[in-house]
Structure 1
Amino acid sequence: MSINRLTIQQVQRLISTRKGEVKIGERMQMLSSDNLASLEAFRKNGAKFCLLGIPECIGVLGNHGKPGAQNAWSAFLATFLNVQSNRFLSGNEFLVLGEIDVRELQEQAMNVDLGSDYFMQKMHVLCQHLDALVSPVIQSIVDAGLTPIVIGGGHNNAYPILKGVTEGLGLRNGVHCINLDAHADYRAMEGRHSGNGFSYAKNDGFLDKYFAFGLHQSYNGENMLKALDTAESVGCHFLEDIDYLDQDLAKALAFVYDDQVPCGIELDMDAIRMMPSSAISPTGFSLEQARQFVRRSAEALDVAYLHLPEAAPQNDLESKMVGKSLAYLVTDFVKAVNKKAQR
């Protein structure tokens, strides 16, 4: 079992109760045992979405990045559990699974001396072990008919998510994916890390159509750009070329739309300007535009999953900013999917 499930006691410590109000944390569903075979029962009880945290920064370290992504899941929970349960969202739609148990791998990664021989290779091996923990859990969620919502960790986790969804749905050529990101993460397959999740997934048959939206021209290497150019089922659009967000996004969504193959929604939090992340940037999308991306994507596509990686809060203020931002994006996603289902 690679899950540390969220307990009622943990939830109660995080919820701020107020007379006359009900919080999502009081309405959501939770595992009562470590048995993932029971997930389908939660779907029959009204759950549609399964929340999963991955508190690690292994893939980020293996991509010359800074730690911090391991803190996003706890920051998210502290805010999300206190979102109001009301006419817009009840909370019963959610099964909160808990977090992937990465404690041993994360400890090993943090204890490797940055100046040691073969530091990157060691991170790549640890990232491979992480892949092996994540993909079976995602597959179990999909097997149960639930939509995964994955929070935290590096963008390396796109690979095991795509693998788990593909295997859970029994797809021959993988799922489609749209990614709001400053970086395409389609780099060379030099060992697993946060910069090559999509290239590995494409190579291994877990990713069919892929569109990277909002890339920064100055932060994507020429070799990777050439790799994007040569793949027929891969497209991209640069932040510098966006004139009308709605129109440009509509074209990106049309690229990945398929009424036979579901599509994953990826939003790298470093695409949002000044968001605490391992690649924080003064330029990028506003949080409102990122929310619009999530809503438009969820409304237009047959959604396979939502993945929100790379937020990396380092202090209390950053944790509050990250937590609330992630909570907005998750609730926007679920409201959009629910709204589409009611049409």
Structure 2
Amino acid sequence: MLEDYYQLDRSYYHRGIDDNLYTAKWGMLIQFLDLNDPSLQPFEGTNFALVGFKSDKGVYINNGRVGAVEGPGAIRAQLAKLPWHLGEQVKVYDVGDIDGPNRSLEQLQASLAKVVKRLRDLNLQPIVLGGGHGTAYGHYQGLQASLEPNQQLAVINFDAHFDLRPYDQTGPNSGTGFRQMFDESLQRQQVFPYLILGIQEHNNNLFLFDFVARSKAIQFLTGTDMYKMGYQEICQVIDQFLEGQEHVYLTIDMDCFSAANAPGVSAIQSLGVDPNLALLVLQHIAASGKLRGFDVVEVSPPHDIDNHTANLAATLIFYLTQVLAQVG
């Protein structure tokens, strides 16, 4: 039995009845799975699985604005209203949540890793709904566990922060996940291929820039870099990063966008990546055919305005799944 795993209330999506795919919405066509069902067999074709990570304990430890624990529900509510463009062959399942108010962040991350591994074994592409960015470490562990021991998982992170902070004194939190991935790679005697897009200089101290400068295989573009470079040059950087990589994990921290576009996040931003540019870049990454899973994190509904942030997160999922469905 999977720990800290709970199926979703099926009435959540307020499902209507519409057999016409030309007028149907996501909330009408999303199906449900119990991952503890031992009779499940690997699915054929391209199919997606939504799973919520209902924890912002890492945000609290990192002195951020709590509230992202409510993120999965808010994103689902916005997804349910979007039109269905995936046809008859592609299925989207909602498998439920990882939840545990009295469990530690480390325990919940371990539980998420097992769920992600289970999804990959069932040939379902994980879409994890955070939660704080502590989501990332559990998602990464699950994807890495689904690979062969000698295979490496590359990471692309849309984020205003490096999230490479040391954790020897504070313990794991929302700002340490990628340092933990880095350390795990060292233990496997591998480099850690890590690309961060949207870094804001005023949100990262010199220790982190120095750590990145001394670390092999870590690359980044600031938000200002992306503004100056434009779509084509950014894609060249991504293509160079992806060269030689077979397996990629994509994580989208909604604080990579400014408060004008994403007011409901754990760490609000005055500057940020333009959502239209970000969408084009995300679609380019998805078109590589190398994504093994992605997540959207740090949506904090108590700080949102008219669901702007949750709606943007759902919209990114809408467009990414279209590309991934075409790639197969």
Q: TM-score, normalised by structure 2?
A: 0.87
Question: In 2, Cα distance between the equivalents of 1:302 and 1:34?
Answer: 25
Q: State the one-letter code of the partner of 1:50.
A: A
* Equivalent pair of 2:192/2:216 in contact (CA under 8 Å): no
Q: State the one-letter code of the partner of 1:61.
A: Y
Which residue number in structure 2 is paired with residue 23 of structure 1?
25
Question: In 2, Cα distance between the equivalents of 1:264 and 1:39?
Answer: 25
Which residue number in structure 2 is paired with residue 323 of structure 1?
310
Which residue number in structure 2 is paired with residue 113 of structure 1?
none
Which residue number in structure 1 is paired with residue 67 of structure 2?
68
Tell me the CA shift for residue 150 of structure 1. 0.7
Q: Is 2:291 aligned against 1:303?
A: yes
Equivalent residue in structure 1 for 2:196, among 212, 226, 248: 212
Q: How many matched pairs?
A: 314
Question: In 2, Cα distance between the equivalents of 1:164 and 1:222?
Answer: 31
Equivalent residue in structure 2 for 1:246, among 200, 208, 231: 231
Equivalent residue in structure 2 for 1:287, among 266, 275, 283: 275
Question: In 1, Cα distance between the equivalents of 2:121 and 2:35?
Answer: 16
Question: In 1, Cα distance between the equivalents of 2:113 and 2:41?
Answer: 18
Q: Which has the higher helix share?
A: 1
Q: State the one-letter code of the partner of 1:133.
A: S
Q: Percent identity?
A: 22
Distance 1:281 1:16, change over 3 A: farther
* Equivalent pair of 2:152/2:247 in contact (CA under 8 Å): no
5 Å-filtered alignment, 1:189-204, equals: 189-190=167-168, 191-204=171-184
Question: In 2, Cα distance between the equivalents of 1:72 and 1:204?
Answer: 28
Tell me the CA shift for residue 152 of structure 1. 1.4
Tell me the CA shift for residue 304 of structure 1. 1.4
Q: Is 2:161 aligned against 1:183?
A: yes
Distance 1:327 1:128, change over 3 A: same
Which residue number in structure 2 is paired with residue 271 of structure 1?
256
Which residue number in structure 2 is paired with residue 337 of structure 1?
324
Runs of 5+ consecutive residues of structure 1 not aligned to the other structure: 106-125
* Equivalent pair of 1:159/1:201 in contact (CA under 8 Å): yes
Which residue number in structure 2 is paired with residue 104 of structure 1?
102
Tell me the CA shift for residue 168 of structure 1. 1.2
Question: In 1, Cα distance between the equivalents of 2:244 and 2:32?
Answer: 32
Question: In 1, Cα distance between the equivalents of 2:319 and 2:41?
Answer: 24
Q: State the one-letter code of the partner of 1:209.
A: P
* Equivalent pair of 1:24/1:91 in contact (CA under 8 Å): no
Which residue number in structure 2 is paired with residue 144 of structure 1?
122
* Equivalent pair of 2:18/2:28 in contact (CA under 8 Å): no
Tell me the CA shift for residue 171 of structure 1. 3.9
Question: In 2, Cα distance between the equivalents of 1:93 and 1:185?
Answer: 33
SS at match of 2:49: strand
* Equivalent pair of 2:35/2:118 in contact (CA under 8 Å): no
Q: State the one-letter code of the partner of 1:254.
A: D
* Equivalent pair of 2:69/2:131 in contact (CA under 8 Å): yes
Q: State the one-letter code of the partner of 1:98.
A: G
